[in-house]
Structures are given as structure tokens and as C-alpha cells.
């Protein structure tokens, strides 16, 4: 276990999947955690089982994002770690992606990540530094046509992480992008009014390691990056995909 005692952490999209696994791991490692999400029922369930604090927020709404940061800062008394995890997915090519779905993907996956990071930057700087961990995707490194718009937004998250690392380095703020492959359970929110079958593991490709990742696998990397042991890691893009991105496997 990494030592996170005394760390004050905000996790976005922490009510299910990777986000929930991060909340559980960071609390177990001793951090004080506030997490956000759209579903009040799921949020209250996670809060009851982890002792973390739930702040309802719809990542599509910049005003709600700002309010959730203000509430988190007040609850935590500052911030040391931001885990930018909130995200939605749409199944389809660029040609098949409706404009409304595109706008929602941008709002949740990229704009909300930008607003959370920008709003947390100054409090981290005032507190002597901190770390930002952005949950991107292996599709942000090499696009997948069947989830084309999602791939584009996650590539943007990777670049956001890099420029934050550059701006943050002189003031003690680290920023890294974590790029998971397919993660079980594969349930992820979709844009309002649209359906997606991307949560069906039968359409996934098993990575060379022989198993799909679990949320806890990603959370363990997040916990390490949040800890002081990772103090010299910044500006990194870290795949966690069981060697799925190590090369091209021809059918």
C-alpha cells in the first residue's frame, strides 16, 4: 500500500467503475476523499461504504463543476490530489456520431477535465504543490474507429495533462495521464438520449496478458502517482492495458 495519510483528494466521476475503485483505494491508503458524480443513489452508496464525501455534480454543466470544486475545497480544507476521471462514451464512427453526442462527449470528457484542473491549480499552488492524475484511455494513444469521438476527446485529455505538467513544474504541481485498456466491469455512462453497446465485453479484444483489467488495477497506479514516492513523475502518459498497446496484432 502507498502512504497517502494526510492527502486531500478530489475524484471526479467516482460513483462507479474506475472512479469508484479509485475512491476505495485512496481511502484505504489513508487519504481524505471527496468525489463527484451524477447519480445521487450511487454516490450515497459509495459514500456509505468508503467514508468518502459525495458531492453531486453533472460534468456537462460547468457551473456545477465549479460548485463541486468549491464544496470539495471547503470540506477538505484545501487539495493535494485531483483525479480527473469523469467520462462518457459513444459507440460509433465519426460519420455515425450525432452532433449532440459529440458536444456532450467534449463537455464531459475534455471541458470538465479542463475546468476541474484549472480551478484546482491555484489552490494547489497556494498549498505548495500537488498532483493531477487524468484518466485518459488507450484509445487516446491510437484511435479506435468504433468509438471514434471518444478517442478524440481522450487524446485531448492526454495533451491537457502534458501542458498542465509544463505549467505546474515550476510551482510543484505534477500532472500525468493514465491510459487504461478495456476495464471490467465495462459499464460507462453514455450521452443523454443515446445508447451504446461499448459496455459489452464480447466486442472487446483480449490483451496479450490474457485478462481484462479491473478497476482496482487502475486504482493502484493512481494511488502510486498520488503518493510522494512518485514525486519525480510528471508529464507521463502511462498505458495500463496488459500489453495491448505494445504492438499491432494482425487477425
In a domain, 206, yes or no: yes
> Annotated catalytic residue: which of 150, 175, 183, 212?
150
The fraction of the chain above a pLDDT of 90, given in percent, is: 86
pLDDT of residue 190: 80
Cβ atoms 12, 39 nearer than 8 A: no
What ranges make up the beta strands (E) of 96-228? 130-135, 173-180, 183-184, 213-214
**Residue range 137-169, pLDDT digits in tens:** 999 999 999 999 999 999 999 999 999 999 999
**Residue 193: inside a domain:** yes
- Helix segments in 8-93, DSSP class H: 17-28, 40-50, 62-76
pLDDT (tens digit per residue) in 14-31: 999 999 999 999 999 999
**Is residue 49 a part of any domain in this protein?**
yes
pLDDT digits (tens, 9 = 90+) for 184-237: 875 567 887 775 544 455 567 789 999 989 999 999 999 999 999 999 999 999
CATH number, domain of 124, equals: 3.40.50.720
Q: What is the pLDDT, as a whole number, of residue 200?
A: 54
- Number of compact structural domains in the chain: 1
Residue 1 lies in a domain: no
Q: What was the pLDDT predicted at 205?
A: 78
Q: Does residue 119 sit within a domain?
A: yes
3-state class (DSSP) for residue 104: helix
pLDDT of residue 206: 86
Tell whether 234 is covered by a domain.
yes
What is d(CA 235, CA 166) in angstroms, rounded to the nearest whole number?
Answer: 7
Instruction: Supply the range of the domain harboring residue 21.
Output: 8-238
- Evaluate whether 133 touches 178 at the Cβ level (below 8 Å): yes
Q: Considering the domain boundaries, does residue 244 fall inside one?
A: no
Least confident of 32-41, 75-84, 186-195, 221-230: 186-195
DSSP character at residue 29: T
In a domain, 251, yes or no: no
150 is catalytic: yes
State the distance between the two ends of the chain, measured CA to CA, in whole angstroms.
Answer: 40
Contact call for residues 166 and 235 (beta carbons, < 8 A): yes
* Highest-scoring range by mean pLDDT, 3-7, 104-108, 142-146: 104-108
Percent of the chain residues topping a pLDDT of 70: 93
Q: What is the CB neighbour count within 10 angstroms for residue 170?
A: 8
The reported pTM is 0.94
Amino acid at each position: 500500500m502507498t502512504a497517502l495519510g494526510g492527502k486531500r483528494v478530489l475524484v471526479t466521476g467516482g460513483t462507479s467503475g474506475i472512479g469508484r475503485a479509485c475512491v476505495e483505494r485512496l481511502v484505504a491508503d489513508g487519504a481524505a476523499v471527496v468525489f463527484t458524480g451524477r447519480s445521487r443513489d450511487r454516490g450515497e452508496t459509495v459514500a456509505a461504504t468508503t467514508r468518502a464525501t459525495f458531492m453531486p455534480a453533472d460534468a456537462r454543466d460547468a457551473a456545477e463543476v465549479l460548485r463541486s470544486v468549491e464544496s470539495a475545497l471547503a470540506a477538505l480544507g484545501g487539495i493535494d490530489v485531483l483525479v480527473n476521471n469523469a467520462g462518457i462514451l459513444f459507440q460509433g464512427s465519426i460519420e455515425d456520431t450525432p452532433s449532440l453526442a459529440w458536444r456532450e462527449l467534449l463537455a464531459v470528457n475534455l471541458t470538465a477535465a479542463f475546468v476541474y484542473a484549472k480551478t484546482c491549480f491555484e489552490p494547489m499552488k497556494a498549498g505548495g504543490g500537488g498532483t493531477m492524475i487524468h484518466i485518459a484511455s488507450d484509445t487516446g494513444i491510437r484511435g479506435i474507429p468504433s468509438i471514434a469521438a471518444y478517442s478524440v476527446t481522450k487524446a485531448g485529455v492526454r495533451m491537457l495533462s502534458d501542458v498542465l505538467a509544463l505549467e505546474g513544474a515550476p510551482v510543484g504541481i505534477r500532472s500525468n495521464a493514465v491510459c487504461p485498456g478495456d476495464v471490467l466491469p465495462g459499464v460507462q455512462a453514455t450521452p443523454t438520449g443515446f445508447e451504446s453497446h461499448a459496455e459489452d465485453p464480447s466486442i472487446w479484444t483480449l490483451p496479450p496478458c490474457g485478462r481484462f483489467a479491473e478497476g482496482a488495477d487502475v486504482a493502484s497506479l493512481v494511488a502510486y502517482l498520488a503518493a510522494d514516492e512518485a514525486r519525480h513523475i510528471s508529464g507521463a502518459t502511462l498505458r495500463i492495458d496488459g500489453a495491448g498497446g505494445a504492438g499491432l496484432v494482425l487477425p
